[in-house]
Amino acid sequence: MEIWTLIAGIAAGVSLFKGFDYIKNSEARENEKRIYQLVERSKDIIYYCETKPQLRFRYLSPSIDSILGSGVQVRSMVNAWTSIDLLHPDDRELLDRKLSGKLDYSQPIIQRWKDDEGNYKYFEEFATPIFKNGEMTAIQGVIRNIDEKMRLQEELIYKAHHDGLSGLYNRLFFETQSTELDEENDIPVALLLCDLDELKYYNDTHGHRTGDELIKETSKILRSLQSDEVLIARIGGDEFAVLIKDTEKHPPEELKKTIHQKIANYNRFSKTIKIMLSIGISSSMTSLGKMNEIYTSADQNMYEEKRRRKKSFS
């Protein structure tokens, strides 16, 4: 009787253990299901990709379709290069380093991918390499679209470098460029300093709104001459700078003549605003250690032209 009681006790214990094991497994399955649903519903792109023996996605979340276009997920699971071929050419080297383990994975990876409409989108990725026997065999990560973040960043950079009223580069950007030419890049350079002769008159007589319009109209004329070699900035209330980085392609005297021609043409048709701009030029075959001297010389020449103009009207 005691033996049967012991056996019954053991059987009950085993059944109870199996019941607990079943409950644990059920809870684990439920947790896995919840995690899977969270991953599937995430707006971020979550992936696990083998790199050895061949490149192959083991998992790629469906959110990639909502960002890059319908069908990208399925095609990428069949052929991993499908999504990789959407990478911007300039970011391809970054991808090669990521897949070969030659990257600092503690830092976010910024990259651009092309959607089904041909537009490149910015993404920020946090990746983790997977190693087996000391060799990287896979990589997993989370990729997030950061178009809005990049747009705001570019907007802040633009505002930091541009004058709000004229839309031209501001004094800070001009001085940064001048410093680089003065301390680092030695090239033939020329500087045109321009001064609006009648801004104070327009502000005092017609109001600051009219004065602002004078600045804007002058800026439009100057901006039409801007290029990679010609930087134009508003460096003061009525002062503009034209920095020429290729004097052979853009001779300063020719550029000054073009500015005056464009102003004369504008004044011929404008009924309200007349632009009068004094321009001083200074140039040098070398920029290293010369930018302050060039600026001072251009400034003196500009005021000399202003004085001559005033005498001609008196």
Q: Which two tokens stand for residue 156?
A: 């802040």
Give the pLDDT score at 255: 96
What is the rounded CA–CA span in Å between residue 223 and residue 203? 23
87 phi and psi angles, rounded to 5 deg: -70, 145
Collapsing DSSP states into helix, strand and coil, what is residue 273? coil
What is the rounded CA–CA span in Å between residue 252 and residue 280? 10
Q: Which two tokens stand for residue 87?
A: 């990478």
19-150 — its CATH code? 3.30.450.20
Give the pLDDT score at 313: 61
Give the pLDDT score at 252: 96
Amino acid at 107: Q
CB crowding 120-130: b at 16 or more within 10 Å, else e: bbbbbbebebe
Rg, C-alpha atoms of the chain: 34
Give the pLDDT score at 39: 52
pTM above 0.85, yes or no: no
The domain spans of the chain are: 19-150, 162-309
Give the pLDDT score at 84: 83
Compute how many other C-beta atoms are within 10 angstroms of the C-beta atom of residue 221.
19
pLDDT along the chain (314 residues), means of 10: 43 46 52 50 86 93 92 94 90 92 93 94 95 93 94 92 95 96 95 92 88 94 95 95 95 96 94 92 96 96 87 64
| CATH topology match: 19-150 vs 162-309 | no
Q: Which fold has domain 162-309?
A: Alpha-Beta Plaits (3.30.70)
Give the pLDDT score at 280: 96
